[in-house]
Structure formats: C-alpha cells, structure tokens
Amino acid sequence: MRQVRLAAIALAIFAVFAIWPQHAATQIAGATGDLMVVPERVEIDLAYNGANIEVGAEVPAGYEAAVRLMSRPERLELKKLGKRAGLLWMGAGTVTFENLPVVYQVLSTAPLANLGTPVLRAQWMLGYESLIPDHTPGADLRGDLVGLKEHGGLFALREGALVRRGKSASLVAPAAEPPQRLRGTFRLPASAPAGDYSVDLIGFKDQRAVHLASATLHIEHAGAVRIVRRLALDHGLTYGAAASLIAIVVGLLTGVLFRSKSNEGH
C-alpha cells in the first residue's frame, strides 16, 4: 500500500515537472511595461464618424510587442451563402460563432508569425486563428468572416504598425538598458458599438511572452444619439407613430410648397 502511495507521489511530482517547464517557457518573470490609451473615453454624438485611438507603450529593451484591442466576446449568427441547384448563390443555412468580439484589432512591432509559436499566439489571442480555432464550428468560413469584418473596419491586424519612438528616459533602472517607447493608432469605424473595450500590451522575447499592461477604452452614446436611442428602445410605438407623422407632415408640406411654386410659375 505504502509502495503504491509512493509511486503515486513520484508520478505526480514527475507530471508537475513535465508540464511546468513548458508553461514557464511562455512566461517571462519580472518584465514590466506601461500602456496609455488616448482618448480613454469616446462619446458617440451625431457628428461621430469613428475615432482614432492612439496608444503609447513602454516595453523592456530587446522586446517585440503587440497591442490588442477587443470588445467583449459574444455570439454571432451569420447567413451562410452557398450554391443551390449547382447554379445560384444564395442563403444556405446559418453559421454561429461563439465568443467572438465585434471589434478585434492588433498592432504589432513585427509580423505576428515572428513573435512566437502558434500556441503562444493562441494563448494571447493574437491572430485570427486564435479567435476561431480550427476545431470550432464555422472554422472553415474563417477567411470569409474575417474578410467581412475587415471590409467593415471592425477587424484589423496591422503588423509593424506599432513603431518605436526611441529609448525612454526612465530612470527606473539606470544601470540596465532603458525601455523602448512604442506608438501606434487604432482606427475604430463608426459602426464599432458602444461598450468597454479591453486594450492589452503583450511583450515577446526569445519565443516567450508576457502580459505587460492593460487599459480600458470606454465608448458611450451621448447627446441627441442617446435621446433618440432611448425613445426608440423604450417607447417604440410612440416613436414609430411620431416618425410616421413627421414623414407625412414633411411630405404634405413639400407637396404644398411645390404646388404653390408651380402656381407661381403659371
């Protein structure tokens, strides 16, 4: 009995040692960074036409880095298009993607493929393969989904768009190599929904990765946009009746106006 227990303990210790180094190899202890998002809050009013979100980052010397901006993951159901009767392209069922953010953008200092292994990139959700892994439903339509999202500006992978801005003047560790300053810009389309977006800075060195810093971007409705939305969502019937009434009045007024103009002409 005692021998069995000892064997079990030995096996457990072996298992921990067998697994631990692999996991540890993807992490870097002690590395720190800084991330700044400007603006941190975006208000959607009637004049809103999307926003440029500037990110400034500080990463340790010798690191490559990526900044990932994404909205909260949710369920997305899309119409699948296929060929019917061997001739006509039309709706051929639906495809559902679970836990997919509406907005997903990445800026990086180098091509993502150079930053780490596919497993490492998947762990940090960098790249479209990590969003829709091969074994998940709809993975065969990944390219089409990404194309649709990129077409609308909601998805973007901008490799090399996180650029170095020289060495930092930080005096935190004067003896060591000073950290690098990075800068990049996310372009959010007007169709990006309101909500909280997570922004994460991930550093890479020697096929290992570390989460260096994070920030939150708040997008919210404001002014007339908020009022109209509240009316439409909370008082739909009144809103619909008012919209129809206004349309009728505008239509009739234009009719009267054109009639009087036409009479003047005679």
Partner 1 sequence: MHLYLPIAGNSVNVFLMIGLGGLVGFLSGLFGVGGGFLMTPLLMMYGIPPTVAAASDSNQIVAASASGCYTHYRAKTIDVRMGVLMLVGGIAGGTVGVQLIKLLRRLGEADFAITVVYVLMLGGIGSYMFFESLIALRGRPSRAAAPRSPMYRRMVGALPFKVYFPRSKVTITALMPLLLGTLVGTLAAIMGVGGGFIMVPIMIYLLRMPMHVVVGTSLFQILFTCINVTVLQAHFNHSVDFVLALLLLIGSVVGAQIGIRIGRRLRADQLKILMAVLVLGVMVKMLLGLLLRPEFLVAYKGGH
**Of 29-37, 115-123, 174-182, 228-236, which segment contacts partner 1 by CB under 8 A?**
228-236
**Of 7-15, 108-116, 137-145, 161-169, which segment contacts partner 1 by CB under 8 A?**
137-145
202 and 209 Cβ atoms separated by less than 8 Å: yes
**Tokens 């993975």 found at:** 139
Among 11, 113, 148, 163, interactor with partner 1 by CB under 8 A: 148
Is residue 221 at the binding interface for partner 1, with CB under 8 A as the rule? yes
Strands 208-221 and 195-205, bridge-based pairing: antiparallel
Is residue 264 at the binding interface for partner 1, with CB under 8 A as the rule? no
Among 10, 15, 90, 173, interactor with partner 1 by CB under 8 A: 90
Strands 104-108 and 155-159, bridge-based pairing: parallel
Length of the chain: 266
Q: Which helix (H) or strand (E) holds 138?
A: none
The span from the CA of 80 to the CA of 76, in Å, is 12
- CA–CA distance from 155 to each of 100, 103, 173 (Å)? 11, 6, 37
Amino acid letter at 69? L
198 and 69 Cβ atoms separated by less than 8 Å: yes
The span from the CA of 40 to the CA of 64, in Å, is 24
Q: What are phi and psi of 34, to 5 degrees?
A: -140, 145
Least distance CB 139 / partner 1 (angstroms):
12
What six digits make up the tokens of 256? 């009267």
**Of 58-66, 79-87, 111-119, 205-213, which segment contacts partner 1 by CB under 8 A?**
79-87
The span from the CA of 80 to the CA of 60, in Å, is 45
Least distance CB 82 / partner 1 (angstroms):
7
**Of 62-70, 78-86, 104-112, 116-124, which segment contacts partner 1 by CB under 8 A?**
78-86
Is residue 43 at the binding interface for partner 1, with CB under 8 A as the rule? no
Among 56, 73, 178, 193, interactor with partner 1 by CB under 8 A: 193
Least distance CB 54 / partner 1 (angstroms):
20
- How many of the chain's residues bind partner 1 (CB under 8 A)? 60
Binding to partner 1 (CB under 8 A) within 157-176 occurs at none
- Contact residues for partner 1, defined by CB under 8 A: 44-50, 77-82, 84-85, 87-91, 94-95, 141, 144-145, 147-148, 151-152, 189-191, 193, 221, 224-226, 228-229, 232-233, 236-237, 239-241, 243-244, 246-248, 250-252, 254-256, 258-259, 262
